Every structure is written in C-alpha cells, then in structure tokens.
Homo-oligomer: A and B are copies of this chain.
Amino acid sequence: MNKSVKKPSIKDIAKESGVVISTVSHVINQTKFVSDKTADAVKKAIKKLNYRPNIIARGLRTKSTRTLGVILPDIAQPFFAQVLRGIEEAARARNYTLILGCTFYDIYEEERQMNAMIDQTIDGLMFFCGYDSYDHIKKAHLSNIPVVVLDRELKNSEIPSVLIDNKAAMQNAFQYLYDLGHRKIGFITFPFKNQTTIRRRYEGYCAGLAKNNIEYDPDIVIIDDLMRLDELKATYKLIKRRVEEKKIATAYLNLADFLAIGAIHAFKEFGLKVPGDVSVMGFNNEIICEFSDPPLTTVKQPKKIMGATAANLLLDIIEGKKVENKNIVLETEIIVRGSTAVPK
C-alpha cells in the first residue's frame, strides 16, 4: 500500500558509507577527529538516506533529551501564554524543546505532571505554582533535577526563581494614584488564601496606605472569588451595591487587568465616568488594556523577558555554567493610559 520505509538508523548509515557505527557517531557529534574522506562519505550517506539521529536512543545513553518541562495552571490565560512565549523563544535559541503541562490549579495535577515529566527524563523543569505548596518542587530539586520557579519565590530554599516584586509594584501603583491627588484609593482582588502572588499585591496596597498615613477602609476594598474571568456579572453586582451605598473611592487599584476592565464597565453602567468620577488601574499590561474604553492604565510586567530569563537561567544551571544570581527579580513599570486622572 504505502511504500514508506523504516526510518534509517545509524547502522544503515554505517553500511551505506562503508564504515562502522561509532565512526558515524563521531562525525555526527564531532566528538573525535575523523578523516575528511570518511567524514564526507558519511555525510553523503546521511543526506542520501535522509537520516536524523533518534533522540530517544541518544537520550537513553546520555541521560539528556534537550527537553524542558513547563508546568503552569492554564495556558489560556494571557499572562502564562506570554511568559511561555518568552520561554519558547529562549529554549529554541539554545536548541531545546518544550514539554507543556497545564494543571488548572489542581495541586495533585502539579505533582502528577511533574513526575510524568521527570519520567520522560526532561533536562529541567520550569514551574508556575497554582498554590503555595512546594513540597513536590523541593523533592524534585533534592533529587537533582534542575528546577526554576516562576512568578514566585521559595523562601528558605535553594530553588532558583524569576519574578517581579509584586508588593513593591503595587505600592508604586498606589503612589502613582496618590501623587495624582487621590486620597480615597480602593482595591479589587480575588481572595489570596494560599496564593502568594495575589497576597503580595494586596500587601503592596496596604503598604501604600501605611506609607501615606491613610486608614484601611473596608468599604472600598472588594475581595471576592466571584469575579472570575467569565463572570463579569458578579463584578457588576459587587460594584452596584457599593455605588448604591455610595461607598465608592475616587480611584481603584486592581489585582489584574480584566478585573479593572470589569470594574470600568460596571462604573460606566452605573453612571460614573472613568476617569472623571473614578480612576481605575490594572495590573499586567495585557493586550486587552489597549482595547478597553478608556484604555487602561496598568502595571507592566516584563512577561516575555520573564520567560526568557527563566529559561536561560535553567539552561545555565543544566549546562553547568556558573550563575551568580539564582533569584532574579525583574523590574516593573507603570503604563499610563486613559483610565486614570486627577480626582474631581
């Protein structure tokens, strides 16, 4: 039916070029000197049979597959997708392939997939944790498989990490609004039980209050799990109540851009002008910020750079390069667009 031929192996090349397989191996890997004449013959045979070495077999010998594992909660979230893009480019530039696993914020999946990847003898692992449970990561690290954690820092451990200073970034955002003249600054977030990244941003908000001697006002802090990406309505309801009760700040910081945009929708719906009546600020600088009306002022995370930095750090470790700093903190930046202004 199909004239498809078995993939040629190193043996076939040896036979074709009249040498022995180890010689073929040496010309492929340039691991020993081979005379030009034989080398040419081998190369010709390789081309002729369209031979490419079997990475699996090589991996079995060398214990390296030039493959990196990436575990993250949900590829459909733009933040992860962007970071992954940075990882992908960096890995590719150094000739590594990526294996991807999504955990959907399931801690058991995290561990299960990690083990599955280790079974594949990946050369290293990059981790976005869904929650603050790190035992499995520490286990991997202890059994000598190189790990880099993203977007989180594992205190009191030797585990390398790449992240931003979420607290400082949010405090800067607070200060930006304060310096604009705002004194009633609110905060909108998910709950942060067991999720350090979220908690750190909240701490940044609180630090901003403290620094400027403003008292914490629960009326203008919305902490609710209902405001999921697909639950714009919940955000409406939460904000509607505050508007009706006139418990509204002159400006709101948000855990993330899409929360901010949900809030903007709600404010507009209830007759408040953005930024005229209320300023709104996001976090992450997703593409969506530019498409919002008004465009969203936000805190920019260097997402692609974060990915590339982590990948290169991991590869440096794998390749035994000397790395001076294993806990890299990247800079953030406030991107001013149209959703913030001086208060009335």
Contacts and interface: CB of A to CB of B under 8 A. Distances in A.
Interface stretch (A72-80, A168-176, A308-316): A72-80
A293 to B, nearest CB: 4
Contact of A102 (B77, B88, B115): B88
A52 B145 CA distance: 15
Contact of A81 (B54, B81, B120, B290): B81
A60 B56 contact: yes
Contact of A55 (B98, B119, B144): B119
A125 interface: no
A161 to B, nearest CB: 20
Interface in A83-105: 84-85, 88-89, 97-102
Given A75-B88, A85-B75, A53 B144 contact: no
Contact of A229 (B60, B84, B120, B287): B287
Nearest to A63: B56
A157 interface: no
B88 A52 contact: no
B56 A65 contact: yes
Interface residues of A, number: 54
A142 interface: yes
A268 B291 contact: no
Contacts of A272: none
B119 A53 contact: yes
A67 interface: yes
Nearest to A269: B293
A220 interface: no
B144 A4 contact: yes
Interface stretch (A28-36, A126-134, A195-203, A258-266): A258-266
13 contacts: A2-B142, A54-B119, A56-B60, A65-B120, A75-B81, A75-B84, A77-B81, A78-B81, A98-B99, A100-B100, A230-B290, A258-B291, A262-B291
